[in-house]
Each structure stands twice: as C-alpha cells, then as structure tokens.
Chain A
C-alpha cells in the first residue's frame, strides 16, 4: 500500500514536468500569433499593397516595402550561388585532396567559423570586405560600363552586393559541413567502383558530388534560410537606403531584416510603423517557412 502510494507520487512528478513542454509550445504559438495580430492593422488598411510598392514614408504613414523584400531575395539568392560554389569546393577538397592528418584541423577551423557571432562578420564586412569589393570588383566592373545594370557603388562600398558576399562567407562553413559529412561517408566500395572504371580523380569527385546531390540540396536550403533571416551582419553592410532598384546590386539597399533592425529606434513614434515592421517580419517568416518546408520535403534533416 505504502509502496503503491510512493510510486504514484513519482509518476505525478513526471507528469508535472509536462508543464515545461506546454510552456515551450505556447511560447512558439504566442510568437506566431503576436506576429499576425500586431501586423493586422496595416494588413486591414493596405492589404497586399506594401508588398508591391517601394514607398517608405513614415511621415505620411506610407509603408511599401517591396524594396526590402526585393533586397532580401536578391542578396540571399546571390549569396546562395556564391556559397554553393565555395561549399562544394571546400567539402570536396576536404574529403578528397587533403591528407587525413590535416582533416581535423580544417574541420575544427570551419566549425569555429560557423560559431563566430554574426555581428563580428558584420563589422569585418563593413570595415574590410566592403571597401575591398568596391575597389577590386565593383569599380572595375563599373569602369567597363556595367553601371546601368549594376548601379554605382557608395563611397564605403556598402551595397546589396557586399551583403550577398558577406552572407555567402557566413553560411559556407555550415553548408559545406553538411556536404562534407556526406562526402566522407560515401562507402569505400562505391569509391573503388568508380576508380576501377579508369576515371580520373576529378571525374570521380564530380560523380560523387552527383551521388550526394540530395545533401547538396539540403545544404542549399539551409543556406538560403539562414541568408534570408540574417540581420546584424547584413544591416551593417547593406547600406540601409531605400533603393527601389534592388536589382542594381552595387547600390546600397535594404533587406527586410535590416529594415526592421534599422527602423526600430523610431518605430514607436509613428502610428502604423510598428504594424508595418511586423508585416515585413511576417513576410520573412513565411519565406523561411517555405524554405523549411522544402527542406522537410527533401527529407534529409534529422
């Protein structure tokens, strides 16, 4: 009798800790709900027009943030392209060309890179990367007469382009680690099969990359999702200028996240600005939801 009672008491303690699960679930639900609820006033007032206009004028309470949405898509896509090339190179060289002894060094170095706070990337991007890109990439291309398509860089080099390059550097350690782990786990007998056909090493490497294409897709989705949401680093190098011509990537611009980060100090001074920023955040939320849905579909995430 006593025994049964004490057992029951222990079981109850276990059930009690389900409170923590409820806390976690309800905080996530709350975060999403508040996102919807707070953006409601501007959604009711303007509908989808903020998504298709590029007029940001708090004084007249006009908040079209197409320029920021465009900036997000342009920078994240360009970053994805650059990072894909970098991560594949990094992973392939790691798995196929460097000696076994060197691997832990490279691996730890890249894992460390992935753990550096993004605001540090931002400071480096602002003070080092942007000026270098301006002098050695943007100015030469502009002098070739490409400025009608790419725009003129700012004196400091802050631009959508710099943001994209910085994002690429930031997401590469993580995305290459996904490819790298899969590449080194290709069984020896598959490797031997490819070599036994008389293929050259690079041909084997290319076939191996083709073999793990699903992991590369996963890495791309992870990169895109991170690039879309990244804030501090982007806000430091993107220039924070309303730029309706967001496809002219050498110009400074905004992304959704940098718009929110840059505008918050004055947000409370206007009636509709807070809802407008929440609306923008909601759009960001849906983009990353869509990317993560794709990720789930590709089915290689644990």
Chain B
C-alpha cells in the first residue's frame, strides 16, 4: 500500500544551525507511528516540518522532499494552509484558545475552512469529534463554557477533538502527555490506539515505554537523523543499532 507520509533526504536548519540532517521516512496508512529519541534530537522539528508550522520560525531553511497524502508539502506552489488542513496537530502544552468556549474551539477550524454547510451539520461534526476524543460525555452539558475551565487532560482531549474536526488524514502529536498526570496520560494513550481507525497518527515522545505501549511502528532519532525504524515489536526486542538499544534500555544520558 502507498505510504501516507513520504520523507526524502530532509534537511532543516534554523538560524544557520542544522536541526535535521537528511531524514528519510515512510509511514503507512492508519497506523500509530512513534518517533522517539532524546531531547534535542530533532523529533519536534521533524513533526513541525510535515505541516509547515515551522514556517513560523525565523531564519528557516528547508531542503528535501516531503509528500503527505499526495501533497508535495514544500513545492513552491503549495499553500501551507492547505497542508495544515490535511494534517491535524496536537501540541505539548494543551493549547485550546482560552477565552473561547469548548464548542467554539472545536468548531473554529471547520467554520473558517467552510467544511460544513449548516449549523446543524456543524453541531453534528463537533459532537462527532468530541465523542472520538472521549470528551463528549464530560462536556456535553457545558459546551458554551470557556475552554480554560477544563482540566489539563480534558484540555488536551479538546485539542485532539479540535484537530479531528478538520477530518485530517494525518494527526501529528508532539509529546501530548508530557504535561499531564498519569491518569490523564493513560486515558490519552488509550485514545491514541483507537484513533488509528480514523487517521494515521504520528506521535513524538521522549519516553520509549509510551512508544512501546501505543505504536505499531517506531523510529529512533538521534542528532537530526533517523537511526533505526521498523515495527514496534521488532525494535523493542531485537534492535539492530547499538544506540537504539542503549536508548530503549534506559542507559542513555
């Protein structure tokens, strides 16, 4: 089957410093793909390169090819906002827009991108997304209260719902549980496994155990390069590379 993400020799530098040094990667459809590695290895930058959120940073230079769901991301004719509509993203800090209501946070993307034709359709979509994010039952009675009133875990699930409401092909998750407690983390991990029915999930984590719990495939990154990639079971039982082995056994740094 055609991979949904295809990355070929991707180099990224910010303000003259090389962050990614020739990354090659293929991600199949409807799987959870984890990218793990120590901090500073370029995981987050790789993720941000895929939907061109990286464009927000000053002094950026990108070389190489990225194709996501048939879109040539770095083609000069490609509109970055179109790329971002195809690729949802969930961030390290739960970041709902604080002074907007729960409903409006989820409805924002579909509304502005005109994905729905009527209010009823929008209501339906918001409900669907919140259900998929395991949040509907907790918030259905207070959809109009501000998002900032939710707990950290709820806010993160709201962000997942916000991304899902755009019906993306790919969902990028940048260490989505690093600011949450263990209970909230468990709930989100459970959710991630469910999500692959809808989308391809690309998750970045600095925690190898989380990678082993949620993912079907895993890549290990170090110093701006992908050291090793393969099915999760194989990498965690028979790593081929010494660095990978050191990392998953917790003997790193």
A→B interface (CB under 8 Å): 99-100, 187-201, 203, 207, 211
Does A198 lie within 8 Å of B81, measured CB to CB? yes
A193 to B104, CA, bound (A): 14
* Given A189-B91, A203-B112, A195 and B96 contact (CB-CB distance below 8 Å): no
Which of B51-59, B117-125, B194-202, B210-218 contacts the other chain? B51-59
* Given A191-B56, A192-B53, A192-B56, A197 and B91 contact (CB-CB distance below 8 Å): no
Does B82 lie within 8 Å of A190, measured CB to CB? no
Which residues of B are found within 8 Å of A189, using beta-carbon distances?
A: 91-93, 95
Mind listing 12 A-B residue pairs with CB under 8 Å?
A: A190-B95, A190-B97, A191-B56, A192-B91, A193-B159, A193-B162, A194-B97, A197-B85, A197-B166, A198-B81, A198-B113, A199-B113
A156 to B109, CA, bound (A): 53
Does B112 lie within 8 Å of A195, measured CB to CB? no
Between A99, A195, A198, A200, the greatest number of chain B beta carbons within 10 A of the residue's beta carbon is seen for A198
Which residues of A are found within 8 Å of B113, using beta-carbon distances?
A: 197-199
Does B53 lie within 8 Å of A196, measured CB to CB? yes
Is B89 in the interface zone, CB < 8 Å from A?
yes
Nearest CB on B from A80, distance (A)? 24
Does B56 lie within 8 Å of A199, measured CB to CB? no
Does B53 lie within 8 Å of A195, measured CB to CB? yes
A99 to B56, CA, bound (A): 11
A-B contact count (CB 8 A): 65
Between A188, A189, A195, A197, the greatest number of chain B beta carbons within 10 A of the residue's beta carbon is seen for A197
Which residue of chain A has the shortest Cβ distance to B165 in the bound complex? A197
Nearest CB on B from A143, distance (A)? 43
A194 to B82, CA, bound (A): 13
A207 to B108, CA, bound (A): 10
* Given A191-B56, A192-B56, A197 and B108 contact (CB-CB distance below 8 Å): yes
* Given A100-B58, A195-B56, A198-B166, A211 and B97 contact (CB-CB distance below 8 Å): yes
B→A interface (CB under 8 Å): 51, 53, 56, 58, 81-86, 88-89, 91-93, 95-99, 108-109, 112-113, 159, 162-163, 166
Does A197 lie within 8 Å of B162, measured CB to CB? yes
A184 to B98, CA, bound (A): 17
Which residues of B are found within 8 Å of A190, using beta-carbon distances?
A: 95, 97-98
From A99, A192, A200, A207, B95 is in contact (CB under 8 Å) with: A192
What would 10 more interface pairs be, CB under 8 Å, given A196-B89, A197-B85, A198-B109?
A: A187-B95, A188-B56, A189-B91, A189-B92, A192-B89, A192-B95, A196-B53, A197-B112, A198-B113, A199-B112
A194 to B56, CA, bound (A): 12
A117 to B166, CA, bound (A): 53
Which residue of chain A has the shortest Cβ distance to B174 in the bound complex? A192
From A99, A193, A201, B91 is in contact (CB under 8 Å) with: A193
From B92, B99, B109, B163, A211 is in contact (CB under 8 Å) with: B99
Does A198 lie within 8 Å of B95, measured CB to CB? no
Which residues of A are found within 8 Å of B93, using beta-carbon distances?
A: 189
Which residues of A are found within 8 Å of B109, using beta-carbon distances?
A: 197-199
Which residues of A are found within 8 Å of B51, using beta-carbon distances?
A: 196
* Given A99-B58, A100-B58, A211-B97, A197 and B84 contact (CB-CB distance below 8 Å): yes
Which residues of B are found within 8 Å of A188, using beta-carbon distances?
A: 56
Nearest CB on A from B104, distance (A)? 11
* Given A189-B93, A193-B91, A193-B159, A198 and B84 contact (CB-CB distance below 8 Å): yes
Which residue of chain A has the shortest Cβ distance to B82 in the bound complex? A198
Which residues of A are found within 8 Å of B99, using beta-carbon distances?
A: 211
Which residues of B are found within 8 Å of A199, using beta-carbon distances?
A: 81, 84, 109, 112-113
* Given A198-B81, A198-B85, A203-B112, A193 and B56 contact (CB-CB distance below 8 Å): no
A192 to B95, CA, bound (A): 9
A188 to B91, CA, bound (A): 11
Which residues of A are found within 8 Å of B84, using beta-carbon distances?
A: 195-199
Which residue of chain A has the shortest Cβ distance to B109 in the bound complex? A197
From B88, B92, B96, A196 is in contact (CB under 8 Å) with: B88
Which residues of A are found within 8 Å of B82, using beta-carbon distances?
A: 198
Which residue of chain B has the shortest Cβ distance to A198 in the bound complex? B85
Nearest CB on A from B52, distance (A)? 9
A196 to B51, CA, bound (A): 8
Which residues of A are found within 8 Å of B85, using beta-carbon distances?
A: 197-198
Nearest CB on A from B78, distance (A)? 12
Does B166 lie within 8 Å of A193, measured CB to CB? no
Which residue of chain B has the shortest Cβ distance to A214 in the bound complex? B99
Between A192, A194, A201, A203, the greatest number of chain B beta carbons within 10 A of the residue's beta carbon is seen for A192
A201 to B98, CA, bound (A): 20
A76 to B51, CA, bound (A): 46
Which residues of A are found within 8 Å of B95, using beta-carbon distances?
A: 187, 189-190, 192-193
A211 to B97, CA, bound (A): 8
Nearest CB on A from B114, distance (A)? 11
A158 to B65, CA, bound (A): 62
Nearest CB on B from A5, distance (A)? 57
